[in-house]
Amino acid sequence: MTRPVLRQAEPVRCSRILAIAGERGDQVVTNDDVAGPIDSSDAWIRQRTGIVTRRRAAADVDVLDLAEAAARKAMAAAGLDGPDLDAVVLSTITYFHQTPSAAAVLAERLGATPAAAYDVSAACAGYAYGIGQADALVRSGAARHVLVIGAEKLSDFIDPTDRSISFLLGDGAGAAIVGPSDTPGIGPTVWGSDGSKAQAIRQTHPWSALQEDADAGWPTLRQDGQTVFKWASFQMAPVAAEAMERAGVRAEDIQVFVPHQANMRIIDQMVKQLGLPGSVVVARDIAETGNTSAASIPLATERLLAEGAASSGDLALQIGFGAGLVYAAQVVVLP
Ligand SMILES: CC(C)(COP(=O)(O)OP(=O)(O)OC[C@H]1O[C@@H](n2cnc3c(N)ncnc32)[C@H](O)[C@@H]1OP(=O)(O)O)[C@@H](O)C(=O)NCCC(=O)NCCS
């Protein structure tokens, strides 16, 4: 008996980002609003982080609402309807359900059925992880149009008295649509993890602690600021440099740099270490939006495009890094 030779999905040569859009929490929270309980000040927060305000969502808006708003704008910009989407990849660490996934619920809301849908847990690297996966899905022929979303309502996981991370955090969602292209629009993804530093950014306690002690309280986020600062400032620039090398471009070829919006001093340090020329437009959305984790790269990109600081066709180097620790970088052509 001869065994049949399997047919495989028809690969596509290239992929690109067709549209990027975002949705920020509609409340502007100043440094003075958060400084009191942590004995800090507007001047200290500006000087150490570059944050002037952060955007947070109202109590009746949840992470799926933010994701849906960003997704609808991206779909409109790409001229696609729900049924045109083959996969929905949603990165979040702030969805309240372990199962079903936020992506499946979102796909239903968008009329994107029966698209494949799954969540990614890669914290602040989640969007860059998603773009890497979407690129692979499209080029392998597994999906034609992939909706990639980073969405966080981090204000649900902050402790106003915590000095380590809570004052940095904001709420928002950024969405991109990846589809087939005649020319390369997404360079190779350089990604990885270092679980030996799993405690550097963490949840105070697991949900199971509530089973043992009902007074354990709602878990919130904490970080070892200096560990994260040093890791991000000095170990992430080589990852971004490798993404450029693997894409076959030099620092002089890049028009835009969109690092995860964690801290303005980390951004400045990375620009210096990468030797990016002064002509490169550097995303600094953190000043007004704060750190929105998985949403920060698409939100910062969307702002540069909307304000005319970046243009369609520009080469952008993007890098996400955060809890895990995890990271991912790639060079993309802006939509
Ligand atoms: C959190 C962060 C802003 C703290 O800044 P830092 O310069 O490292 O602060 P340090 O912990 O060294 O503390 C320095 C001083 O500031 C004080 N301090 C710490 N946090 C403070 C706060 N929120 N407000 C006011 N003062 C603070 C400390 O008590 C210390 O005071 P001392 O010198 O009198 O002892 C910084 O470490 C950081 O941004 N790290 C990276 C965070 C990040 O990007 N996280 C997201 C990852 S995806």
Report, as an integer, the average pLDDT of 198-202.
97
The residue with tokens 């105070």 is 204
User: Hey, which residues are catalytic here?
Assistant: 124, 260, 291
> Nearest Cα to 240, choosing from 264, 260, 261, 262?
260
Ligand 1, atom 20: closest residue by C-alpha: 163
Distance 229 CA to ligand 1 centre (A): 9
Distance 224 CA to ligand 1 centre (A): 9
Would you say the CB of residue 124 lies under 6 angstroms from ligand 1? Answer: yes
Cα 23 from Cα 32, distance rounded (Å) = 24
Give per-residue pLDDT as tens, 56-70: 999 999 999 999 999
Looking at every residue in the chain, the average pLDDT score rounds to 97
Q: Tell the CATH topology of 14-181.
A: Peroxisomal Thiolase; Chain A, domain 1 (3.40.47)
| pLDDT at residue number 109 | 98
Ligand 1, atom 48: closest residue by C-alpha: 322
Does residue 127 register a pLDDT over 90?
yes
The distance from CA 150 to its chain's CA centroid, rounded to whole angstroms, is 5
Confidence of residue 327 (pLDDT cuts 50, 70, 90): very high
User: How would you class 63 by CB atoms within 10 Å of its CB: exposed for 0-12, middle for 13-18, buried for 19 or more?
Assistant: buried
> What share of the chain in percent tops pLDDT 90?
99
Distance 67 CA to ligand 1 centre (A): 30
Distance 41 CA to ligand 1 centre (A): 12
In a mutational test of the pocket of ligand 1, which residue from 31, 40, 229 has the highest number of ligand atoms less than 8 Å from its CB? 229
| pLDDT at residue number 203 | 96
Report, as an integer, the average pLDDT of 196-215.
94
Ligand 1 atom closest to Cα of residue 164:
1
Distance 225 CA to ligand 1 centre (A): 6
Give per-residue pLDDT as tens, 142-175: 999 999 999 999 999 999 999 999 999 999 999 9
Q: How far lies 58's CA from each of 29, 97, 102, 153, 175, in Å?
A: 11, 20, 19, 10, 20
Would you say the CB of residue 69 lies under 6 angstroms from ligand 1? Answer: no
Q: How far lies 115's CA from each of 89, 133, 181, 242, in Å?
A: 10, 15, 20, 33
Would you say the CB of residue 290 lies under 6 angstroms from ligand 1? Answer: no
Would you say the CB of residue 266 lies under 6 angstroms from ligand 1? Answer: yes
Give per-residue pLDDT as tens, 68-102: 999 999 999 999 999 999 999 999 999 999 999 99
Would you say the CB of residue 163 lies under 6 angstroms from ligand 1? Answer: yes
Ligand 1, atom 27: closest residue by C-alpha: 40
> Nearest Cα to 147, choosing from 72, 230, 207?
72
Would you say the CB of residue 230 lies under 6 angstroms from ligand 1? Answer: no
Strands annotated E in the chain: 14-24, 27-30, 53-56, 87-91, 116-120, 146-153, 171-181, 190-193, 201-203, 221-223, 256-259, 281-282, 315-322, 326-333
Beta bridge partners of 190: 329
- Entry field: residues in the chain: 335
Distance 157 CA to ligand 1 centre (A): 19
Does residue 313 register a pLDDT over 90?
yes
Secondary structure string (H, E, C) spanning 171-235: EEEEEEEEEEECCCCECCCEEEECHHHCCCEEECCCCCHHHHCCCCCCCCEEECHHHHHHHHHHH
Would you say the CB of residue 251 lies under 6 angstroms from ligand 1? Answer: no
Token reading at 193: 């993890």
| pLDDT at residue number 214 | 86
CA atoms within 13 A on the CB side of 275: 7
> Nearest Cα to 298, choosing from 2, 77, 33, 48?
77
Distance 315 CA to ligand 1 centre (A): 34
Confidence of residue 1 (pLDDT cuts 50, 70, 90): confident
User: How would you class 110 by CB atoms within 10 Å of its CB: exposed for 0-12, middle for 13-18, buried for 19 or more?
Assistant: buried
Which segments of the chain belong to CATH 3.40.47.10? 14-181, 190-333
Ligand 1, atom 21: closest residue by C-alpha: 163
In a mutational test of the pocket of ligand 1, which residue from 226, 319, 325 has the highest number of ligand atoms less than 8 Å from its CB? 226
Cα 66 from Cα 220, distance rounded (Å) = 20
| pLDDT at residue number 317 | 98
Q: How far lies 198's CA from each of 105, 193, 201, 221, 228, in Å?
A: 29, 10, 7, 13, 11
Would you say the CB of residue 327 lies under 6 angstroms from ligand 1? Answer: no
Cα 284 from Cα 259, distance rounded (Å) = 9
In what order do the strands lie in the sheet containing 281-282? 190-193, 326-333, 315-322, 256-259, 281-282
Q: 275: left (phi > 0), else alpha (psi -120 to 50), else beta? A: left
The domain over range 190-333 is classified in CATH as 3.40.47.10: yes
